[in-house]
Amino acid sequence: MLHKETYLKNKQICIRMARDYAVNGIDFTRRIRPKTLTLVFLLMMCLQPLAEPAGEDVAQLMSIGDTAFAHRAEGRQRLQASPAGIHQAVEAYRQVLVQDPKNVEAYWKLLRSLIFEGHYATTDRKRKQALFAEGKKVAENALRVLDEDIQKQLAQPAEKLSFEQKAQVLKGIRGAPETYYYTGTMWAEWSRAYGVIAAIRQGAAAKIRDFETLSSLIDEKVRYGGGYRALGRLHHKCPRIPLVTGWVWMLEQVIADPPDEDLLIEDLNLQAQAAQDLKGWAKK
């Protein structure tokens, strides 16, 4: 490091020589020794503002992530997905959020990719926990961004609003229903990875209920009625415990309030899941 006095002295030399060159066309390189010239050059470099790193364009990174996710099944072994493709998608969406921390689309797509990687691309429990723990943080950041948008539009904190009020605002924000849907799904995967006790301590069941309810209120058709399906799975799997999960639906309530017929889908796997959930309700 240069002493302060030396730095200031050579800075003045650098500025004066640059002025002489600009005004009089004087080639100052002939007037100074090579050693001094090297020092002046280094000082000029130090005085230059640092350029922003180029990085890859956000749209390009999103395209890379989308393509990698679309090919996530390539290289699979039966039901075990190859981690290479989905990890590329995860990395692309991470980079998008580094450059654009308020990109809602990148948030929900990163959540979706982390869920897939943890559920299908690894059998290691520690790895699953790490992925879903990251997913929880990603979800928190995503919801913070959406809450800020709500507060800007309504001039009041999002936590003081009803689900219906929040949903009315969020309907105008692209990616909001997917964000809440995958946030609820992430909490479900986190609960499975960390166990029942951890899930109870974190209040996971109520969080899943709230996130999926809000997702359905914003757009009931997102992910083929994904919010309703997630709620059905929650009420099927979650035990009815007084003062803890006393809100779990009973069969009569489910029959009295059936989902919209437009949400019926042809996917056989989802039909099988719905049938299993209905059978579970009947046993409660």
List of residues 6+ apart from 51 with CB closer than 8 A: none
Structural domain boundaries, residue 40: 4-46
35 and 146 inside one domain: no
Distances in Å between the Cα of 176 and the Cα atoms of 144, 173, 230, 277 are: 12, 6, 16, 26
Q: Return the DSSP state at 248.
A: P
39 and 167 inside one domain: no
| Mean pLDDT for the chain overall | 77
186 and 105 inside one domain: yes
- Does 244 fall in a domain? yes
The total number of residues written for the chain in this structure: 284
172 and 37 inside one domain: no
187 and 213 inside one domain: yes
Say whether pLDDT at 158 is over 60.
yes
Instruction: Give the count of beta carbons closer than 10 Å to the beta carbon of residue 172.
Output: 10
More confident site: 232 or 7:
232
Q: Using pLDDT thresholds of 50, 70 and 90, give the confidence band for residue 200.
A: confident
- Does 9 fall in a domain? yes
- Does 51 fall in a domain? no
31 and 69 inside one domain: no
Most confident of the following: 48-52, 88-92, 151-155, 241-245: 88-92
Q: How many domains does the chain have?
A: 2
127 and 200 inside one domain: yes
139 and 279 inside one domain: yes
Q: How close are the terminal C-alpha atoms of the chain, in Å? A: 74
Amino acid at 227: G
CATH (domain of 198):
1.25.40
24 and 115 inside one domain: no
- Does 53 fall in a domain? no
3-class DSSP state for residue 77? strand
Distances in Å between the Cα of 275 and the Cα atoms of 269, 272, 282 are: 10, 5, 11
Per-residue pLDDT, averaged over 168-195, amounts to 94
- Does 211 fall in a domain? yes
H helices within the chain, ranges in order? 4-24, 34-47, 58-70, 83-99, 104-120, 125-154, 163-170, 176-194, 196-202, 204-218, 226-237, 251-256, 268-283
Say whether pLDDT at 261 is over 90.
no
Most confident of the following: 39-43, 210-214, 258-262: 210-214
Say whether pLDDT at 2 is over 90.
no
Q: What is the pLDDT of residue 253?
A: 47
pLDDT per residue over 241-260, tens digit each? 666 666 666 544 443 344 55
Smallest CA-to-CA distance from 93 within 120, 81, 111 is with 111
230 and 180 inside one domain: yes
Structure tokens at 155: 């001039």
